[in-house]
Every structure is written in C-alpha cells, then in structure tokens.
Amino acid sequence: MKLQKIALGVLAAIAVAGSAGWFSLDRETRGLLATLPTNRDLLFWSEPQRDAAFRALDRLPFLAKWRVVPAGGTPTPLPPGPPLKLPLDVASYMAGQRSAALLVVHDGQLRLERYGLGFDGSGRWTSFSVAKSITSTLVGAAIRDGHIRSMDDKVSEYIPQMKGSAYDDVSIRQLLTMTSGVRWNEDYADPNSDVARFNNHRPDDGVDALVSYLRRLPREAPPGTRWHYSTGETNLVGILVSQATKRPLAAYLSEKVWVPAGMEQQATWLLSRTGQEISGCCLQAATRDFARFGLFILHGARAGGRSIVPEGWLAEATTGRTGIGQPGRGYGYQWWTYADGSYAAIGIFGQGIFIDPRRRIVIASNANWAGGARDRTASQARDAFYRAVQQAVDDEARAASR
C-alpha cells in the first residue's frame, strides 16, 4: 500500500473522530501530517518534510514501528558550567547548519546548550548513522557478556542464513571496520542505490529482509583489504548481536547503556519490516541523552565501576583501524577517527557526537542540513566548529595556568 493512501486513511480517521482528535495530536505530529511525504524514502523528502519528520518518526505508526529503550530513574546530572567563549557567532553557525540542537559538555559541565527549528530539550530527534557507534558498543558488551566469542568469528557462525554468501568468510571485525569487500552502493542521491533499495526488498520466506538482500550481493575485494562504507553491514551487525544475545537490541541497549549511563528519557528504535531494529540508523533520543552517551564512552563505558566492554576493546574501537582515503582521518569500529585522538559518531543531515578524550569534550548536535544528506559545506563548517571548541578549551587552560 502506498504511503499516501495510508496517510489519507489516517487523516480520514481523524476527520471521523472530529476536531478533538486532530487537536489531541502534538504540534510536531500535526506538522508532519500537514507536509506528509508521498513515499517511504526519507532520502528524497523535502526540507519541510524532514523538519517535521525527524522529531516525530516514533509517533507516526503509519510510517514505521519501533521499540522503546527504557531509561532508568536516576539521570546523570549535566550541571551548567560557565559559558564557553568561542571565536565565532553561535547563532550564525546554527543557522548555517539548520541546527535543531547543539550541546557542548566539558569536564562534565554543560558549557553550551542551544536549540533551533522549533525543537527543544524535551523532544527526541532521529540519530541516523550516529546509531552505528551505539550498535558497535553493543558488540563490545556482547563479547564481555560471553554472547560473542571473538571479533574474528565469522558472521555466518551467528547468522547461519549467510552461509554460502559473500559474507560467509567475513569476520565481525571486518563488518565493524566496513572492510568486508562485498559490493554496496551508499549513494544517497541515487534512488537505485543499495541504501535506497534495501528497505523495500521483498524478503525470502522466513528470512530477515536485510539478510535476504545482503546474501545476494557479490564480492568485489578480498575481506579485510578495502574500506567501503555500508549501512547495510551495520544493520547486519545489529541482527548478529540480537541473534547472539537472544534479545531485541532495544532491550539490550537499555540494560547495557541507557539505564547505567543515566539517560533522562526513554529512546525509541525504528524497526525493519521484519521487526528488527534498524541498527545502522534510526534511534530517536533527546540530544542531552546523546551527549550522555558521549560522556559514557569518554569515561570508558563504565557502569558500577566496571566497563561493559572488554579491557582494551574501546581503545581499539575509537582509533583508526583502517584508512578512508582522507589525510588524518580513519575508521574504527563504527567510529570516525581523527589524528589528534578525537573521534566521532556521524549521521547524515548533520547528526553527530564528537568526543575529545584529551580535552574531556563531548559535542552533541542534531540538524537538518539544507544541502541534504551529505552537505560538504555544512560538514566542513561542523569540523571547524569542533576545532573552535577545542581552541576555546585550550585558551582557558593557558589562561588558568598563568
């Protein structure tokens, strides 16, 4: 059934219920209905459609289903600190980013917190590929818990339906570093790319939709010899973790991260058509809680005095395990790395969590870039903002030491 038919059905139901039904919906949901896309592929939605949708994907059951990631009852404090003195105009920067939220945490203190696009701290914004770094952390937790034996285990040991495919000889480590060598097209502007098509794939009977799609793809390079970005492979990682732990990813994330890290609000995780969390994408959370995840990682992914991942694993995850063809940049276990030791979770349209361990900085941002999924100008401006925050913290340290 086409989405516009579903939408008309929802609108008709609201009309039957009367005006009270319409006004019982929150402002964001009404805004999305007023600008509803006519197709399921958010990569090709208009800017106003994205503005409305990115804050409301988990309140529109005719668009997607989801699982809740429960939070605990004791949020980790984010006490305010002195305003950060930055060598730029923050309002202008946010306007250029079309920023929905921008938070800077330094030494555990909230040094900057601003919102835009009518969004605020009480709402949830979708993560896009920021979820990849969170999924990676669950792999480390599953190893620590004994559900996964080794990073060098083959994918097909945990997902037997991949036997005989190009992924049969691919290890978990190679999946996490995106060096499987399997063909994949991640062109967000191409409606015929794999990243645009796989969600609409008709799965084989009894097989997860993603597994059904990926096991048909051919090999292009030997495993471990080539880096190639693939959201499909992170989604496969999520299936692997769920199979290994015998639990939904949302439940495992709540147990290992969301509760022990002291998240303030529940999160939600969108599901594929076969009921699996879309682990390369689509985790909805408050921006403060994305910042808390950054702090959790900064502090060694520790809960109750013990890391949820094996000793040394997080250091491997957040340092470059493979080159990506850019000077000073690399890729770890689903983390983008920088030569100075900082690293980031990065999602399309301007989502991000930047972590600088040496300076004890976490920057969380949500946005809807005007230039689309990969806006090079906006991306460069964000990198420049990261450097400006680092410079401001360095300037404070020098001033304090005089």
Instruction: Break the chain into its structural domains and give their ranges.
Output: 3-67, 90-401
Convert the pLDDT of each residue in 253-273 to its tens digit.
Answer: 999 999 999 999 999 999 988
Task: Give yes or no for residue 143 having a pLDDT over 50.
Answer: yes
Q: Which of 67, 68, 9 is nearest to 36 (CA)?
A: 9
Q: Please tell me the predicted confidence (pLDDT) of residue 378.
A: 98
Convert the pLDDT of each residue in 25-70 to its tens digit.
Answer: 455 555 555 665 545 667 788 999 899 999 999 987 767 899 999 9
Do residues 33 and 63 make contact, with C-beta atoms less than 8 angstroms apart? no
Q: Which helix (H) or strand (E) holds 19?
A: helix 19-23
How far is the C-alpha of 167 from the C-alpha of 157, rounded, in Å?
11
CATH of 90-401, one of 3.40.30.10, 3.40.710.10, 3.30.930.10, 3.80.30.20: 3.40.710.10
> How many helices (H) and strands (E) in the chain?
14, 14
Residue range 199-205: average pLDDT?
73
Angle at 110 between CA 105 and CA 111, to 5 degrees: 85
Output the 3-class SS for 102-159: EEEEECCEEEEEEECCCCCCCCCEECCCHHHHHHHHHHHHHHHCCCCCCCCCEHHHCC
Do residues 124 and 284 make contact, with C-beta atoms less than 8 angstroms apart? yes
This model's pTM is above 0.85: yes
